[in-house]
Amino acid sequence: MLAYIRYLSSFATVAVPDLDAAVSWYSSAFGFEVIASDPHGTGGAPTVHIRRGEGQDLILVAARAAEAAATRSSGVRMSLAVDGELAGFVDNAIANGAARVGPEATGAGDVTLRDPYGHTWAFFARTAPAARSVASRVHH
């Protein structure tokens, strides 16, 4: 396992049947970059740490096809903020093989996509938090 990964607050581990193809796809479609790799990573399976932005880390782990299929549709959805234009990001992901899931965008502005490995992702435009007044922080 990539020992240094423990400094992160949280991260998802995604099982994929073809590690090299997955690294290439997540880079092209969603803009992830390789941070590190370990040929003997999780349980002896090759592992790659990829990052899209601060706090948006994934661990990709090579899995046999049956193991990767078992992790699909687990009810877990990964949500990531997009800095910049959401529509352009989504168009690029779809051009690279992502499939839109559900309506074009939810009322909250999320766009849900499914990657070629069956995992569901929600992307949203990052917004700055609203300034809170001193009065709203005072507890009565």
- Average pLDDT over the chain, rounded to whole? 78
Amino acid (one-letter) located at 125? A
pTM tops 0.75:
no
- Asked if 14 and 115 count as a contact pair (C-beta separation under 8 A), the reply is no
Report the CATH number at residue 37: 3.10.180.10
9 assigned to some structural domain? yes
pLDDT value for 109: 67
Q: How confident is the model over 38-89, as pLDDT tens digits?
A: 888 766 788 999 999 888 889 898 886 545 555 555 656 777 888 888 899 9
Does the pLDDT at position 129 exceed 70?
no
Better-predicted residue by pLDDT, 44 or 113 = 113
55 assigned to some structural domain? yes
One DSSP character per residue, 54-115 reads TTEEEEEEE--HHHHHHHTTSS-EEEEEESS-HHHHHHHHHHTT-EE-SSSS-TT--EEEE-
140 assigned to some structural domain? no
pLDDT value for 9: 56
3-state secondary structure (DSSP) of residue 122: strand
134 assigned to some structural domain? no
73 assigned to some structural domain? yes
Q: Around 63, how many Cα atoms within 13 Å sit in the side-chain half-sphere?
A: 16
121 assigned to some structural domain? yes
pLDDT value for 30: 95
Domain range holding 71? 3-125
Q: How many domains does the chain have?
A: 1
- Asked if 5 and 37 count as a contact pair (C-beta separation under 8 A), the reply is no
